[in-house]
Amino acid sequence: MTLPPPAPTAPTAKFLADRTALVTGAGGGFGREIALGLARAGASVMLHGRRADALEAVRRDILAEGGAAQVAVFDLADEAAAGKVLQALGRIDVLVNNAGLRNRRSMDLLDREAVRTMLEINLVAPFDLARQLAPGMAAGGRIVNVTSIAGQIARSGDAAYTMSKGGLDAMTRALAAELGPRGITVNAVAPGYFATEANAAMVADPAVAEHLVRRTSLGRWGRPEEIVGPVLFLASDAASYVTGQVIGVDGGYLAHF
């Protein structure tokens, strides 16, 4: 008999007290879970996204638990707006580049514009946020990128996303090398198949469930809250000597043959 896995526990120690964190794409999915996790660990969290109402709802949830949060609305495609908001935010100690665009298309349906847009949101914007925020980070600053197993393996019909996540993996290493001498670490988490809102159609597809049972060591979808622990670890002092790493959070997908 297979027992259901235990629900991950929320952090009780305030190991991120005195830290401010910016989470992009915090209005739902992983971003919401990561923002709640950081707030529970004591960080003051800036919630980024385009949908002010969704961000306000997350902010209310954090305040209801006694945490601290602010909302930062801008489109990652709008460099000028991003710059203005970032300046107003003040010091950020932990940047979580979580926001991402998904647009599965075979290569014959991908024109330059579609590829550019994907790279702009999934790769150039995270770089730009890091570029703007790193100068204000003290030693101990943290950048955590949310990439994907698609950064390391590929399948047909998803070239633009795969290229963007492979680039984000490489950016993680490049910025780790550049910011390491200042005591700032740069790492990434690479989620596999998670039952997030964005994947609702796939979650309902029995063929995908069958694939996951066969293909992952743990034999199931990831639960959205299971991304939080690895991000909190990388954001914490416990990961002080970890940098340039892409950590798979995939139920064993990348390791399983």
Ligand X SMILES: NC(=O)c1ccc[n+]([C@@H]2O[C@H](COP(=O)([O-])OP(=O)(O)OC[C@H]3O[C@@H](n4cnc5c(N)ncnc54)[C@H](OP(=O)(O)O)[C@@H]3O)[C@@H](O)[C@H]2O)c1
Catalytic residue among 161, 193, 241, 253: 161
- Give Cα separations from 27 to 36, 49, 60, 61, 213 (angstroms): 11, 6, 12, 11, 30
Q: Tell whether residue 98 is a contact of ligand X (CB under 6 A).
A: yes
Looking at residues 157 to 196 of the shown chain, list those that interact with ligand X (rule: CB under 6 A).
Answer: 191, 193-194, 196
C-alpha–C-alpha distance, residues 158 and 137, integer Å: 35
C-beta of residue 164 within 8 angstroms of C-beta of residue 156: no
Q: Tell whether residue 208 is a contact of ligand X (CB under 6 A).
A: no
Per DSSP, 122 falls in state I
Decide whether 45 or 76 has the Cβ nearer to ligand X: 76
Q: Which of 96, 121, 123, 133 binds ligand X (CB under 6 A)?
A: 121
Distance of CA 224 to the CA centre of its chain: 11
String marking each residue 58-97 x if it binds ligand X according to CB under 6 A: -----------------xxx--------------------
Per DSSP, 10 falls in state P
Decide whether 15 or 245 has the Cβ nearer to ligand X: 245
Q: Tell whether residue 29 is a contact of ligand X (CB under 6 A).
A: yes
Looking at residues 40 to 59 of the shown chain, list those that interact with ligand X (rule: CB under 6 A).
Answer: 49-51, 54
How many CB atoms sit inside 10 A of residue 248's CB? 20
Per DSSP, 12 falls in state -
Looking at residues 129 to 158 of the shown chain, list those that interact with ligand X (rule: CB under 6 A).
Answer: 146, 148
Which region among 86-94, 98-106, 174-182, 231-239 touches ligand X (by CB under 6 A)?
98-106
C-beta of residue 67 within 8 angstroms of C-beta of residue 20: no
Residue reference for tokens 């996204």:
49
Distance of CA 26 to the CA centre of its chain: 9
Decide whether 155 or 237 has the Cβ nearer to ligand X: 155
C-alpha–C-alpha distance, residues 196 and 198, integer Å: 5
Q: Which of 43, 99, 143, 175 binds ligand X (CB under 6 A)?
A: 99
> Is 161 annotated in the active site?
yes
Please report how close the Cβ of residue 189 comes to ligand X at its closest, in angstroms: 9
Decide whether 124 or 137 has the Cβ nearer to ligand X: 124
Q: How many residues bind ligand X, per CB under 6 A?
A: 27
Residue from 91, 76, 94 nearest 27 by CA: 76
Q: Tell whether residue 105 is a contact of ligand X (CB under 6 A).
A: no
| 3-class DSSP string for 209-249 | HHHHHHHCCCCCCECHHHHHHHHHHHHCHHHCCCCCCEEEE
Decide whether 198 or 254 has the Cβ nearer to ligand X: 198
Residues in contact with ligand X by the rule CB under 6 A: 25, 27-31, 49-51, 54, 75-77, 98-101, 121, 146, 148, 191, 193-194, 196-199
Residues annotated as catalytic are 161
